[in-house]
Amino acid sequence: MTAPDDQSLSPLSFLIRSAAVWGDREAVRDGRRSWTYAEHHARVERLAGGLRTELGVEDGDRVALLLPNVPAALELHYAVPGAGAVIVPLNTRLAAAEYRYILEHSGASVVFCHRSLEGPCAEAVEGLPRRPRVVRVGEGAGGDDEYEGLAATAARAELRRPRDERALLSINYTSGTTGRPKGVMVSHRGAYLHSLGQVIEAGLTTRSRYLWTLPMFHCNGWCYTWAVTAAGAAHLCVPSVDPDALWQRLREERVSHFCAAPVVINMLLESEAASPCPEPVRAFVGGAPPSPALLERAEQLNFAVTHLYGLTETYGPLMICAWNPAWDDLSVAAQARLRARQGVPTIVSERARVVDAEMRDVPADGETTGEIVMRGNNVMLGYYRDPEATVAAFSGDWFHSGDAGVMHPDGYIELRDRLKDVIVSGGENIAAVEIEQILVEHPNVAEAAVVGLADERWGEVPVAFVTPRGGGALDPDELREFARSRLAGFKLPRRVEVVDDLPRTATGKVQKFVLRDRLSGGEDRPAPSP
């Protein structure tokens, strides 16, 4: 028995409370179906019961989810831990070999797989020495799949909160762009506190309607899988990101909030269906710094964009560009530049620092670059079955982000680049993001990505990849002239490549290693001098 004043923290309590308090309010809508919090709770309890009695899941077992943003993904974020097991969300854009590695490394005993992903799932489990049970998830109508059978008919089981609030809740695998993906260990306590932080920072209430444009597999949807429920708000599930369809839902379903990478915001802005929303919509952007130009355009469509910063290792956003009322009277352009900063720790996060190689704080001058390091209850427990990587990440008793940033005099942090992406040219550090934000100020540029190209004289020189806005034409020489008056000479892109699309991860981050590989193995034509 635990003392009345010592109850373990777990996001499971959010659903239990909302079912009791907001039982008749809408909890989930997927465009075709809708159910209340009482019905949502009942389905989750039947799933938790089915996991244990019909699928043989035991305490501590790992259960993988290979699902787009369908209601099943949301329900299993409660049913799996409610059955005493651990969630393993799988990125829906990986290859079979990558799924095979994660399933084997995590030791998952069950995989819930959406029917649209059955091919790579079947290929992944085929070569495993211990094959997990695969449960098919269909469209959910009429009990036409195994998953829906569990949700509709299994015996209900009360959700089991952990005795130890630091118990493992989820293992979230990183993208693995520089090696094998690492399993980030998320605790019940951390998820509970981080979720409350999202409720406060986003201003979620029972009247909020949250559109699921951010993948739930990514940091458990930045913990909005639990935060929206904590507020008694409505989850609006979206299985795929189609700009025109999103605009329809933004208007017809009274959307109040959504989260996304800047690429999704840009897709919405470029859509032919775009027009100002009838009511303000709060959009939270992370994954890459939004340019001031993008923020200005979003405001014209009644999107109130807030910039966030974090990593998988910090449960998603650990920092927020909190709005300072002193900025209200600044010009739109000046406000947009301020909004593009990563900001300050959220209300449940501890202090973040920008440090040099000796762990000394860099001057708060907005110019001196260092590594962003963090602490807090919403920092991971460590990497699953990888003690060496855990020790390295927590060197000096701080979590090392691997991101380069500056500290401004007002205490706001601004990201400059991944440490490995900083371009060193002639002994000078060049932040690619600075060049990118200049280029997207051009009226015909939609997006830009800048990487370093090896150079015998300078060590590295910046090269830019840009996409045209609205399918128009772009002149690389004109873009270089446009940037010349706004950048120091050594920062000017040595050349500009016009491309249709930028390579991205499933969460919208530009894969700069792909662009660097393209340069190293591609054209060897002469480039203009700065």
Helix (H, G, I), strand (E, B) or coil at 509: coil
Whole-angstrom Cα distance, residue 522 to residue 509?
23
Please tell me the predicted confidence (pLDDT) of residue 525: 36
Residue 510 sits in which domain range? 422-530
Nearest to 336 by CA among 241, 259, 226, 440: 440
Which residues, in sequence order, are CB contacts of 121 under 8 Å at separation 6+?
66, 96, 99, 111, 113, 134
Nearest to 219 by CA among 171, 166, 260: 171
Q: List beta partners, residue 415.
A: 405
Scanning 31-88, the segments in alpha helix (DSSP H) are 37-53, 71-82
Please tell me the predicted confidence (pLDDT) of residue 527: 39
Q: How many helices (H) and strands (E) does the chain have?
A: 17, 24
486 in a structural domain: yes
CB 22 within 8 A of CB 232: yes
Whole-angstrom Cα distance, residue 432 to residue 400?
20
179 in a structural domain: no
**How is residue 256 written in tokens?**
């109040």
CB 266 within 8 A of CB 246: no
491 in a structural domain: yes
Q: Read off the CATH number of the domain in which 501 is found.
A: 3.30.300.30
Whole-angstrom Cα distance, residue 321 to residue 338?
8
75 in a structural domain: no
Task: Give CA 263 to chain center in angstroms.
Answer: 12
394 in a structural domain: no
Count of the separate structural domains present in the chain: 1
Nearest to 364 by CA among 308, 322, 424, 407: 407
The conformational region for residue 168 under phi > 0 = left, psi -120 to 50 = alpha, else beta, is: beta
476 in a structural domain: yes
Task: List the Cα angle 215/217/219 in 5-degree steps.
Answer: 95
458 in a structural domain: yes
Question: Model pTM?
Answer: 0.84
DSSP secondary structure, 87-128, as one string: EEE--TT--HHHHHHHHHHHT-SEEEEEGGGHHHHHHHHHT-
Render each residue's pLDDT in the chain as its tens digit; 530 residues.
667 888 899 999 999 999 999 999 999 999 889 999 999 999 999 999 999 999 999 999 999 999 999 999 999 999 999 999 999 999 998 888 889 999 999 999 999 999 999 999 999 999 899 999 999 998 754 445 789 999 999 999 999 999 999 999 999 998 654 467 899 999 999 999 999 999 999 999 999 999 999 999 999 999 999 999 999 999 999 998 899 999 999 999 999 999 998 778 888 998 999 999 989 999 999 866 677 777 788 888 999 999 899 999 999 999 999 999 999 999 877 887 888 788 999 999 998 999 999 999 999 999 998 999 999 999 999 999 999 999 999 999 999 998 889 999 999 999 877 767 778 776 566 778 788 888 988 989 989 999 988 876 777 889 999 999 877 789 999 999 999 878 878 789 999 999 999 998 755 678 888 898 888 764 433 333 34
428 in a structural domain: yes
